Amino acid sequence: MNKKSRFSDSELVESIKQKDLLERAVIQLYEEHAEITRSFIMGKGGTEQDADDIFQETIVSFIDTVQKGKFRQESGIRTFMVSISKHLWYNEIRRRQRAGNREKLFETGREQEEDGISGVIQDRELKNELSRLLGELGESCKKILELFYYENLSMKEIVSHLHYENEQVVRNKKYKCLQQLTDKMKQNPLAAKQINELIQ
Amino acid sequence: MQPNNEILIDYLDNRLSTEETAAVEAMVQKDIRLAGELEYLKLALNTVRLNAIHEKVSAIRKSLEKNRVVEKRSPAIVRSMYTVSMRVAAIAVLIFGIAVLYKYMSVNDQSVYDKHFTGYELNNSRGPVTKDAESDAYQNKKWNEVIALYHAQNVNTNKSAFLAAMAEMQLHHFPEAVAFFENILNAGTGDRSFREESEYYVALAYLMNHEEEKGIDMLNKIKSNSHHTYYPLASRLSAIDLKIIALKK
């Protein structure tokens, strides 16, 4: 992507909402913000792989926040993303320490987190667990749920996309897949804890 | 599937009427189990969304990393001494080849003649200058008059024939010039004057008369004799030039 075709911050946010420009937006996020995150994480004892993984999660969280309409543009994309990266990395350090990792990790100098950051970021461990449970449903379930809940396709479009008999078959399949997923979550301690904290 | 869950899913999918939506929200407020079910469903939908985003970003990241690896793998241009030497040698061969080709193309009878022919200066002749009509005409570059005077004379000397030959050379009448020079060289009169001059100039006349073999032989004869008056001039003719002329013959 050349300099001329770069999005401004507000254009970038709009392109993420439109989804068809998502790839260009993600590439720009990598080109403009990956290095600063990398420097921070590697300066705090992380590896190159840690930095890449954390930045990927940062982008996922940022996109999710934007697509849910929760991003407040006044903070600026860079500031927001750096805050997410720091939050994710400090959580990761804590998780590793809990896991008995005696490797020296530096948490000193932790800066004040941006307001609202923790609210938009799901715990990394929980996210991984939930992703694993979704994977256990199988590809057809994952695809139907993704097309309906992320791509916002109608039942009719999904029928034509996945070659099901009719909309009712897809609707039933979707209910069934969603129910299977929630059943799995109920049996997962991390997910159950999260839900219990929410409803108490 | 529990009927309540179906209603909750429809509620999340915005498929319920306003009244139904309000009824579900009221039930969730009262029933903690139902509220828990709703939160599980919300968490499930969030998981689907995040997973979809994660897969898209992951695919883009892999593509970027692949490009990064390809860029890293692209070998830097390292030129070994061997390669540099080979290039220099190749360039030298090419330059040499071009030079040889240029030389071959540029050397011919005419170029050698133009380079080595200089008009004979009568004042430079050895011995006292004898004033006569032919000499005057020659010094005044009246070439046709020189030739006419030669033919008008009853008795011709080597000098007279030489001046006539040189006049023919100046007029680019090479066959005639050759004939005059050969008369001088083949004459058995005992007159030895202007023989060496004639040998040099007849060699050039031969080249221009397309008798290259005779011209080259004559020049080589002069070059082999360092006491020859025209040895210095003949020596300036390179063996390569003569070889090229011989090849082009």
What confidence score (pLDDT) does residue A109 get?
45
Question: What tokens were used for A119?
Answer: 């609210």
Q: Quote the CA–CA distance of A145 and A131 in Å, as a whole number.
A: 13
Q: Which residues of B touch A185 (CB under 8 A)?
A: 40, 43-44
Q: Give the single-character DSSP code of A126.
A: H
pLDDT in tens, A94-134: 888 877 654 455 444 444 444 456 556 667 778 888 999 99
The per-residue pLDDT for B235 is 86
Distance from CA of A178 to the nearest CA of B (A): 7
Which of A67, A92, A120 is the C-terminal boundary of a domain?
A: A120
- For residues B197 and B234, is the Cβ–Cβ distance under 8 A? no
Which pLDDT band holds residue A15 (cuts at 50, 70, 90)? very high
For Cα atoms B218, B213, B125, give the angle at the middle one, nearest 5 degrees: 25
Final residue in a domain of this structure, among A120, A148, A169: A120
| Residue of chain B nearest A64, judged by CA positions | B50
Q: Which of B9, B58, B60 to mutate to test the interface with A (most CBs of A within 10 A)?
A: B60
B52/A contact by beta carbon, under 8 A? yes
What's the complex ipTM?
0.87
Q: Give yes or no for a contact between B230 and B199, defined as CB atoms under 8 angstroms apart.
A: yes
Residues A134, A114 share a domain: no
| Nearest CB to A185 within list B35, B44, B50 | B44
How many domains does chain A contain in total? 2
Please state the pTM of the whole predicted model.
Answer: 0.57
- Gap between the Cα atoms of B213 and B203, Å rounded: 10
Average pLDDT over every residue of A145-172: 92
User: Do A114 and A150 sit in the same domain of this protein?
Assistant: no
What integer pLDDT is reported at residue A66 of this predicted model?
92
Residues A109 and A154 grouped into a single domain: no
Q: How confident is the model at residue A91 (pLDDT cuts 50, 70, 90)?
A: confident
pLDDT above 80 (res A70): yes
Architecture of the domain spanning B109-248: Alpha Horseshoe (1.25)
With a cut of 50, say whether residue A86 has pLDDT above it. yes
CB contact under 8 A, A199 and B39: yes
Helix (H) or strand (E) holding B87: helix B81-106
Q: Do residues A73 and A115 share a domain?
A: yes
Is the pLDDT reported for residue A179 higher than 90? yes
Q: Look-up: residue for tokens 């070889």?
A: B243
The answer to whether B64 contacts A198, with C-beta atoms less than 8 Å apart, is: no
Last residue of a domain, one of A120, A149, A176: A120
Contacts of B66 (CB under 8 A, 6+ apart): none
Residues A111 and A47 occupy one common structural domain:
yes
pLDDT number for residue B1: 40
Q: Are residues A161 and A193 in the same domain?
A: yes
pLDDT recorded at residue A194: 83
Q: Which long-range contacts link B4-7 to residues 24+ away (Cβ below 8 Å)?
A: B4/B34, B4/B37, B5/A175, B5/A179, B5/A182, B5/B37, B5/B41, B6/A175
Mean pLDDT value across residues A162-177: 92
Are both A40 and A96 inside the same structural domain? yes
What is the spatial distance between Cα A158 and Cα A154, in angstroms, rounded to a whole number? 6
- Kindly tell me the burial class for residue B220, based on how many C-beta atoms sit within 10 Å of its own C-beta (0-12, 13-18, 19 or more): middle
Establish, for the pair of chains A and B, how many residue pairs have beta carbons separated by less than 8 Å. 97
Is pLDDT of A53 > 50? yes
Contacts of A175 in chain B (CB under 8 A): 1, 5-6, 9
* H helix intervals, A6-99: 9-18, 22-43, 48-67, 77-98
User: Do both A113 and A162 map to the same domain?
Assistant: no
- Copy the structure tokens of residue B109: 């009878």
Q: Return the pLDDT at B30.
A: 92
In CATH, what number is assigned to the domain containing residue A193? Answer: 1.10.10
CB environment A64-100: b (16+ within 10 A), e (fewer): bbbbeeebeeeeebeebbbbbbbbbbbbbbeeeeeee
Q: Say whether both A25 and A71 belong to one domain.
A: yes
Percent of chain A with pLDDT over 70: 86
Residue B244, amino acid: I
Q: For residue B245, which amino acid is it?
A: I
Q: For residues A60 and B57, is the Cβ–Cβ distance under 8 A?
A: yes
3-class SS shares of chain A: helix, strand, coil, % to 5: 75, 0, 25
- List the structure tokens of B241: 């030039």
A102 lies in which domain range? 3-120
Is A24 in the same domain as A115? yes
Residues of chain B with pLDDT under 70: 1-4, 72-80, 123-130
pLDDT at residue A107 in the model: 46
pLDDT over 90, % of chain A: 48
Is the CB of A182 less than 8 angstroms away from the CB of B37? Answer: yes
For the cut 70, the answer to whether the pLDDT of residue A150 exceeds it is yes
